[in-house]
Structure 1
Amino acid sequence: MTISVMLADDQALVRGALAALLDLETDLHVVAEVGRGDEVVEAALKEQPDVVLMDVEMPGMDGIAATAALKAQLPGVHVLIVTTFGRPGYLRRGLQAGADGFVVKDTPARELANAVRRVHQGLRVVDPALATDSLVAGESPLTERETQVLRSALDGGTVADIAREHFLSEGTVRNHLSSAIGKTGARTRAEAARIAVDNGWL
């Protein structure tokens, strides 16, 4: 039986390399490739792949949000997140979004092919080092609103900009930023955002 695979990655060279490697396997066949997160659902509805290899950082929509959207439309599709960024928070959020597996891009080709087969069988595949890091790091300490505000701050928004974007008062935004700074042990909101990014909380 051939397992049909779709690739979602914004780097054309990476997509090409993955497609070439997977097509060397007699039981795996790449049926579609997309370079944006907001193209995932449409392409999957059209091609009906068995497994989607999903990058995290893509334009249009990140891979974690795309995984949740895909699972809502096609719950039977298996998603294997394959990312350069092995951040514990990404792993936790990816699994919460419905991903069936999570590996990093330096995984050897044979192991990646086996990971595709295993998630297709309904098994969960997680990079062991990442799983350990995720347990050590624990859940994000940030509330949903603190996460939103910090993400906007990361994009360079002023307090006034963030307040307008989220329909909050400037005082409320400052409170959320202050709380996020305290929870991350940072000194500034820029440092808090960097810490949150490094842990995969944003």
Structure 2
Amino acid sequence: MIRLLIADDQGLVRGALSALLSLESDIDVVAEVARGDEVVEAARASQPDVAMLDIEMPGMDGIAAAAALRAALPTCRVLIVTTFGRPGYLTRAMRAGASGFVVKDTPAAQLADAVRRIAQGLRVVDPVLAADSLAQGESPLTERETDVLSAALTGGSIADIAEMLHLSEGTVRNHLSSAIGKTGARNRADAARLAQESGWL
């Protein structure tokens, strides 16, 4: 039996995934959680072979949860299943140690097959996303520009961002200016939106 943990903040989706995959004779859903920051504790308690993680969850996103889970339980393999099929997310998820990345509208039989393949040590990636990711390439943003744009999503002032990241206001302005140029955006809000839509944040 493949022991499976499911993490998704939408109860209806989580329940549907659990019900569908439990119908498979070789898959046993051993844990379900609604928050990213509950993944590691639930995995320690239930010892799954595969963890199926959504990206957008409270507490900790699925990509950060994947990295934390790989560090805490290296034998547990991670499959990201998300509504948000953004190429940048795919790149970040694989860097975080995920073995697979598929979108939620994947048919149930294919999803069960993805769980099996990942449990066997194989990789499973949505082919359209893989092609888009290759076409888009790496994020052009530096780590600090990514931090500054992520902070800008809250809509705070330059001073707010500087205080949040422990940087000077001039440094924040420089990083924002560079990020705006790299994304081809009109302003910082537009740059943050474009970077988020690309999956770079």
Structure 1 residues 1-12: aligned runs within 5 Å: 2-12=1-11
* Mapped partners of 1:41, 1:71: distance in 2: 9
Provide the secondary structure at the position in 1 that maps to 2:194.
Answer: helix
Deviations 1:105-132 (A, max 9, x none): 0000000000000000000000000000
Aligned residue identity for 1:70: L
Give TM-score, length-normalised by structure 2: 0.99
Deviation at 1:137, TM superposition (A): 0.6
Distance 1:8 1:199 in 2: 23
Amino acid of the structure 1 residue aligned with 2:183: T
Unmatched 5+ residue regions in structure 2? Answer: none
Residues 35-88 of structure 1, C-alpha deviation per residue, up to 9 Å, x if partnerless? 000000000001000110000000000000000000001011010000000000
Q: Percent identity?
A: 73
What SS does the corresponding residue of 2:91 show, helix, strand or coil?
helix
Q: Secondary structure at the match of 1:140?
A: coil
Q: Could you tell me which residue of structure 1 aligns to residue 133 of structure 2?
A: 134
Shift of 1:157: 1.6
Q: Which residue of 2 aligns with 1:67?
A: 66
CA distance in 2 between counterparts of 1:190 and 1:121 reads 43
- Give the TM-score normalised by the residue count of structure 1: 0.99
1:51-200 equivalent positions in 2, closer than 5 A: 51-200=50-199
Q: 2:56 is aligned with what amino acid? A: E
Structure 1, unpaired ranges of 5+: none
**Runs of 4 or more consecutive aligned structure 1 residues displaced over 4 Å after TM superposition:** none
The aligned runs of 1:26-45 (5 Å cut-off) are 26-45=25-44
Counterpart Cα distance in 2 of 1:3 and 1:34 = 18
Q: Give the distance between the partners of 1:157 and 1:85, measured in 2 at CA.
A: 25
The Cα of 1:156 is off from its aligned counterpart by 1.2
